[in-house]
Chain A
Amino acid sequence: MSAAIPVAALRELIAGWIGQGKLVAAPVQVGDRLLYQALASAQDAVFDARRRPANSIKEFFFPRHEPIFRYRIEGKEIALAEVAPQEREQIVIASKPCDAAALPILDHVFNWDFEDSFYTARRARTTVVSLACQAHDDACFCTSLGSGPEDESGSDAMLHDLGDGQFEVRAITEKGGALFPDRAGKSGDTPGPSCRMAGSPPNEQFDPARVARYLAANFESPPWKDLTLACLGCGVCAYTCPTCHCFDIVDEGNAAGGARVKNWDSCQFPLFTLHASGHNPRAVQPQRQRQRLFHKFLIYPRKFGTVLCTGCGNCERNCPVGLGVLKVLQAIDDEAKRLDEKEPLQA
């Protein structure tokens, strides 16, 4: 059983980590938005088990913009300069469990045959301390994917809010435990005074296996076409999603040189799949929405055994037209159920 840690002590620890030159990220109140940000001061960290930041922690592993090497142009010669993968230690604290759970999911693609050394360096140098959830909203659907408000996947330690500004911390990995010497209980310990979620976790909203079966059998006849017409083709869902990882590679510079950079990209942008010839296999928005669903709920699980989603609900919450994936998944699941009743689909 671990001792209760008051929030002031957490802030002291954070101030210490910042003093050691580490990058510490936490939810921060910015205007009317709660956003994960690198902390300038330990006082800015918000420990609220009832709210979810509008962005995700993937920024600290897979940043929105990242030079991958630099080049100098010297007549006919080119000189390349390496960009060293991150050395600085990072701590993400008060992460939502649905953000942390995205990390082991992303590990698959960034290590698939070729290692993305920028991503793996950050993963190795970051400790993730999550804060278990005590509330959810209608956009949350972690439980439909086998996750939940206290899912420890991807976390090195987990805070539990005991109320009155007191927290309990459980170590999940050695790295996590090392941040809280002599104060951490172990994952699986008997829980301390009540820190359970207020009310129950979200109900399961759809069956991912049934959805995958339907998608595998139905590329050209979607029941969701009407829903996806409303999509405006921006990148908000992809960019606030903890698991979306599509990126672009471009050269930026001038006649003397520059850098080749990796930037976030989104399959919802009209130009994402545009060939130089002018041919675009996904010329209209419903086709691009289809890609998003397929990638997350059929292709990724087939390749790596896990859906590319943690049910955090950011896509729906942030979508300018309130779309996200849940509504569409429910429409697919309803159709799949209906067909199953008529004629069960083969596995």
Chain B
Amino acid sequence: MTQRLRETARRLLQEGKVQVVIGYGPSKPGAAAPPVLITRPEDADKLEWNGRCFANLAVYLTRKEVKALGKAAVVVKGCDEKALVVLEKESQIDRAALSVIGMVCEGVGTPRAAKCASCQVRVPRFADEVIGEAAQPAAAAPGPNGLDRLMAKSPAERWAFWKTEFARCVKCYACRQVCPLCYCERCIADKNRPVVIDTSATPKGNFAWHITRAFHLAARCIGCGECTRACPAGIPLGLLNQALAQATEEDFGYRPGMDPQAEPVFGSWSPADKEDFIR
């Protein structure tokens, strides 16, 4: 697969179809594959594909330094690709100008990441080129997962849990910077007229940040898990997003990033909405 990936990238650059290929680079076993931005065909051999390709490369598509390079090709796994669906719906990317190289993926990480056990999108669905053999989607994950275990606790226990977890937050904003859907040019956390979220790494500042971010991602987060992986303090941030994703599916029958035709929850309204206070 790596060979085909390199050939594809080389061809796209040589033919001038794209000016940059965003993919994964070389890494030693145990280390995550670092993102690389290839602008010259001869550098295509730097591209790799393996079980350490954790990053969601869609995050680069909204960064101005990358947009300045020109048309892009991006290497995505099925989970990452869901971000492209949302970004396009929110008019942040021009799908026609983007080349999507989809990699068939049976899971990343050793041991395999939890999200992979229930993956339904092992074969990217909307790529311009799919590399890899067809693979079956996973069977639905049996048994309780992290969210089930958390929600089984009482509200008081959950409050205590998050107090302990957030006490380790240093406000590095890695969670925000790795997220492909956190693309606001001036994040609410950086607003100072007025200050909406204290920048301090205090209980107040940390709760305000994480809860606000989770709500701003509600019905948008595609569950790639990069926020959790990036957190240097090991806070299980993804649980917040999963809880809201569950509520979104239950209340609106909506799963972000799955159906490009589905209207986003916060961007649409249906007369059949079950809430009647708005009628």
Report A's interface with B, CB cutoff 8 A: 30-33, 35, 54-55, 64-65, 138, 226, 229-230, 232-236, 238-240, 248, 250, 252, 261, 263-264, 266, 269, 271, 284-286, 318, 320-323
Contact = CB atoms under 8 A, between A and B. Distances in A.
In this complex, the member of A232, A233, A238 whose beta carbon has the largest number of chain B beta carbons within 10 angstroms is A232
Contact of B174 (A284, A285, A320): A320
B174 A234 contact: yes
B129 interface: no
A310 B172 CA distance: 21
A177 B135 CA distance: 63
Interface in B34-67: 34-37, 39, 55, 59, 63-66
A320 B31 CA distance: 11
A271 B192 CA distance: 12
A263 B177 contact: no
B103 interface: no
A54 B229 CA distance: 13
Contact of A230 (B35, B172, B173, B233): B35
B130 to A, nearest CB: 25
Interface of B: 27-28, 31-37, 39, 55, 59, 63-66, 168, 170-174, 176-178, 190, 195, 198-202, 205, 226, 229-230, 232-234, 236
Contacts of A238: 172
Contacts of B32: 321-322
Contacts of B55: 320-321
A205 to B, nearest CB: 14
Given A286-B65, A322-B31, A234 B173 contact: yes
A31 B234 contact: yes
A35 B171 CA distance: 16
B199 A234 contact: no
Contact of B34 (A138, A236, A240, A322): A322
B176 A234 contact: yes
Contacts of A232: 59, 63, 174, 177-178
Given A230-B36, A271-B190, A320 B199 contact: no
Nearest to B198: A252
Given A35-B168, A236-B174, A250-B200, 8 more contacts: A65-B200, A234-B173, A239-B170, A239-B232, A240-B232, A320-B55, A320-B226, A321-B32
